[in-house]
Chain A
Amino acid sequence: MNHLTEEELVLHYYGEVGESLRTERALEECEGCRDLYASIERVLYAVDAMPIPERSPDYGAEVWRRIAPAIPRRRNFFAGWLPAWEWRWAAAGLAMAALLVAAFYVGRNYSQPGSRRVTPTTTAAITDPQVRERVLLVAVGAYLERSHMVLSELANTDAKGKLDISAEQERAADLVSEGRLYRQTAELTGDSAVAGTLDEIGRVLLDVAHGPSEVSPAELERLQERLNSEGILFKIRVLGSKVRTEQINDAAPGANSGRRAL
C-alpha cells in the first residue's frame, strides 16, 4: 500500500485533509505511517510547552498608559451627535462657509475704481474684515499643519515590506477638498504664489489619496523622492511660517486693516 506523506499527516493533525477516512485507515494499517504521525504529535506537544512570560492582570492598563500619549484626539468632534457620513457633510459645509467668508472679504476689498468704501463705525465682530481674515488664516494654518503631518509621516517612514497607508490616505483625501477651497480663495485674491504652492500640495495629497492603500518599499521610495525633489515639505513650512507671521501681525494692536497677500 502507499504510505501517507509527511504533509498529509501534518494536515491530518490539523484536520485539514479532505480524505480523512483514507488517512485514518492508512494509520490503522501501516506501522510506518503511525510512527511518523506519533513523531509529529510528540514534536507538536513539545512546541506547546513553549513558555510564554506571564503578564499581570493590570498589564492592559500598563499598555494604555504607554500608548495614550501617542493616541491623537479623534478629529470628528461632532461625531458624538452626528453619524460619520453626516460629519463629512458638516465638514464640507464649514469649509464652504470659510470660502464664502473669504469671497465676501475679497469682494469688499476689490471695490469698483472711484467708489468710496464706507466703513461702518459700529459693526459686529464677524463682519470685520480683519476678523474674517484671521479666521481664514487660522484655517489655512491648520490645513498646512495637517498636510505637513501626513506627508512628513510618509517621508520619514522606513518600510521593510508592504506598508498600509490607508489611514494617511483617508487624511489626505479630507485635505484635498479643503485645500482646493483655499487655493481658489488665493487665486481670487491674486496670490498666485500661494495658489501655486497650495496646488502643488494638493496634487501630492491627491496622488496619495487615490493611490494604492498598501505600498511597496519601492513605491514609498518614489513618493519620498518626489517630496524631496519638489521640496513640498519645505514649501509647506515656508508658507506655514508666512501664515503664522500674518496671524501675529493681525493680532497686534493697530494692525493694518488693508488687504495683504498671505
Chain B
Amino acid sequence: MELTDATFVARARAGEGDAFRVLVERHSRALFRLAFRMTGNQQDAEDVVQESFLRAYKQLNKFDQRASFGTWLYRIAANCSLDLVRARKRRSEHVAAGVAENGESVDEIVTQLPAQDPTPERMALSGEVRERVIEAMKELSANERTAFVLRHFEGMKIEEVGRILDCQPGAAKHSVFRAVQKLRRSLEPLVTVRSE
C-alpha cells in the first residue's frame, strides 16, 4: 500500500531526509504544469517549482496536517508564480498585443488557418493558435492570470482562489471574468467560424 503524503510530511518534520524527497518526486510534474500555465515560460516554471519546494520545506512546521499537502503546495506555487509574473509585468516584458512572437499579426495568422477549421479539435492542431493562446495569457494581469488558471485549469473554488490572491471571493470572481473577457477579445477572431 502506498503511504500517504501526510505520512511523509510527518517524517520530513521529524528530520527524515528522504521523506521530503518522496514528496518532491510525487508533486513535481503537477507543480510544473501549474507553474507553466501561470508563467507561460518553461524556465520560469522550472524556477517556480524549485522555489515552491524550498518555501514548502521552510514552512513545513506550519503546515496543518489535517489539510491536503497537495493543495497547500499548490497555494505556495501559485504565490511563487504570482510574484514572478508581477515582477515580469513590471519589467514590461510582455509582447505587444496583436503581434505574435515571430512578428506576424493576428490577421496573418487567421488567414493561414484553413477556412473550415472551426472545431476545437482542429484548432488544437494549429501551432499558431497555440502560440496566440500563450500570448493572450501573457496579456492578462498577474491577478487575472492566477485567478483564471486556478479556476479554469485547476478547478479550484472561487473562495480558495480568493484566499490565494488575498482578496474577497467577489474580487476573485471578477478577476476570472476579466480574464475570460480579455481572452475572448484576443482569441475571438481566431475561433469564430468563418462562413465565407
Contacts and interface: CB of A to CB of B under 8 A. Distances in A.
Interface of A: 6-7, 10-11, 13-14, 16, 39-40, 42-53, 55, 57, 59-64, 66-68, 70-71, 73-74, 76-77, 79-80, 84, 160-162, 164, 166-167, 170
B130 A60 contact: no
14 contacts: A43-B180, A46-B129, A47-B133, A49-B130, A50-B137, A52-B36, A55-B29, A63-B24, A63-B53, A67-B53, A71-B54, A79-B13, A161-B82, A170-B62
Interface residues of B, number: 62
Interface in B10-41: 12-17, 20-21, 24-29, 32-33, 36-37
Nearest to A214: B166
A148 to B, nearest CB: 18
Nearest 9 pairs of A and B residues by beta carbon: A60-B25, A45-B120, A49-B124, A60-B28, A167-B58, A42-B191, A74-B15, A63-B28, A64-B24
Contacts of A7: 174, 177, 181
A95 B19 CA distance: 30
A47 B87 contact: no
A50 B50 contact: no
B71 interface: no
B54 A64 contact: no
Given A47-B183, A49-B120, A42 B14 contact: no
Contact of A166 (B29, B37, B62, B82): B62
A26 B26 CA distance: 45
B184 A55 contact: no
Given A10-B180, A43-B188, A71-B20, A52 B25 contact: no
